[in-house]
Amino acid sequence: MVGSGVVTLVIAGIASLFMAWAIGAGSSGSTPFAPAVGANAISVMRAGFLVGLLGFAGAVLQGANVSEAVGTELIGGVELTAIAATTGLLVAAALVAFGVFTGYPIATAFTVTGAIVGVGLAMGGDPAWAKYQQIAALWILTPFVGSSIAYTTARLLRSERTAEQVVIPLLGGLVGLIVANVEFVVLGPPDVGQSIAETAGNSLGLPPVGGFELGSLVVSLAVAGGVVALLAWDVRRDLEAGQRHFLLALGSLVAFSAGGSQVGLAIGPLVPLLDPFDIPLVPVLVGGGLGLLVGSWTGAPRMIKAIAQDYSALGPRRSIAALIPSFAIAQAAVLFGIPVSFNEIIVSAIVGSGYAAEGGGVSRGKMGYTVLAWLGSLVLAIGVAYGIFTAIEIV
């Protein structure tokens, strides 16, 4: 029995690595730097190389929350078996790979969530309605929130009444504030994440004021102020170079966030299988991160080109406007352990920033097909995974 369990775990692990490759080649590998490529701030091949490394780092340092949610919170009353996890992963990976090779960004979170729900229901599990409500809320709000923030930011950067030498550093300060409060596994106690602001703030020994941790607030403002000062110096020295540097920094942060979120879609179904073998989560996160890295290096350039050039004619300002809400939404998803599609985040933000320039070259036809692909992948993943696993159980 033990030998059989090991074999099925290995098979599930191989399916998970295939899923990680497909995600790296698709959403997490292509979307983070697509706006920067569209703005000619970085080449396609260099973007694919960097996003692989940054995605790997994000997977290891931030991947636990989403992994546990995908593995244990999408279905109630049953625990995923190795066969169920393998079936769900293969169905989802096949759909994502289809999107990679056809040039249409299939929403990874839609396919993985649908596939795991499908096999869970086939096992006789109960729908986890509370979790579904959280997921649906984020999925529905993402296009509206992301595109609205991107539109507003792009208009602000283009306005003649505001100077970019002032606006860009202030936007950088906002990003710095978020970075200071992002949680990392390595900074907290075992199995608990902690932010830079919390870690450094605790060392200051300042008392709480009005319910707020004064130390964390001081550190957060210090980080934000440092970013503002650095960007202000950079854009005064050379505005175009400062724009490019800020854009590449944002792309790097989004790539890191993509790894932290998307690795959970690949290895999350394995989480219920680890306890019987006393396998810790961190080595599995490393394996998933390596899968993302290889996928980014081997398959991402095609999708980077598709997203950077097919959806909107991007310049540096609109690219910056698209990446800021993308980073914020991605980190919110990681914090609350909600699987989210980076294609949905980035594409909606790109469209919002594109409309700030009287349409910005946005392809409505392309967007229509993409939305249909997202919805179709969710429904198809549920149905196919349910049907295949039911057939396996009968056999």
Q: How many CB atoms lie within 10 A of CB 76?
A: 14
pLDDT of 53 above 50: yes
Look at residue 361 in the predicted model and tell me its pLDDT.
52
Look at residue 1 in the predicted model and tell me its pLDDT.
43
CA distances from 259 to 10, 168, 262, 339 (A): 23, 26, 5, 12
Look at residue 367 in the predicted model and tell me its pLDDT.
66
pLDDT of 311 above 60: no
pLDDT of 165 above 50: yes
Question: What is the per-residue pLDDT across 259-296, written as a single tens digit (0 to 9) for each?
Answer: 888 888 888 888 888 877 778 888 889 998 998 888 88
pLDDT of 142 above 70: yes
pLDDT of 307 above 50: yes
Q: Which two tokens stand for residue 196?
A: 């830079």
pLDDT of 138 above 50: yes
Question: What is the per-residue pLDDT across 236-248, written as a single tens digit (0 to 9) for each?
Answer: 999 888 888 998 8
Look at residue 170 in the predicted model and tell me its pLDDT.
95
The partner residues of 126 in beta bridges, in order of sequence, read 76
Look at residue 24 in the predicted model and tell me its pLDDT.
81
Q: Cα–Cα distance between 366 and 348 in angstroms, integer?
A: 12
Q: Using 50, 70 and 90 to split pLDDT, how confident is the model at 362?
A: low
pLDDT of 229 above 90: yes
Higher pLDDT, 342 or 222: 222
Look at residue 366 in the predicted model and tell me its pLDDT.
64
Higher pLDDT, 95 or 221: 221
**Domain of 318, in residue numbers:** 2-394
Look at residue 204 in the predicted model and tell me its pLDDT.
82
- Maximum mean pLDDT: which of 52-56, 91-95, 169-173, 291-295: 169-173
The tally of CA atoms less than 13 A away on the side-chain side of residue 232 is 9
Q: What integer is the mean pLDDT of 146-174?
A: 89
Mean pLDDT of the chain: 82
pLDDT of 151 above 70: yes
CA distances from 169 to 315, 322, 369 (A): 18, 16, 37
Look at residue 69 in the predicted model and tell me its pLDDT.
87
Higher pLDDT, 162 or 153: 153
Look at residue 29 in the predicted model and tell me its pLDDT.
57
Look at residue 313 in the predicted model and tell me its pLDDT.
57
> What does the radius of gyration of the chain's CA atoms come to, in whole angstroms?
21
Look at residue 52 in the predicted model and tell me its pLDDT.
84
Q: How many CB atoms lie within 10 A of CB 211?
A: 5
Look at residue 228 in the predicted model and tell me its pLDDT.
96
Q: Using 50, 70 and 90 to split pLDDT, how confident is the model at 19?
A: confident
Q: Are 307 and 235 in contact (CB under 8 A)?
A: no
The total number of structural domains that make up the chain: 1
Q: Using 50, 70 and 90 to split pLDDT, how confident is the model at 312?
A: very low
- Maximum mean pLDDT: which of 68-72, 102-106, 119-123, 358-362: 119-123
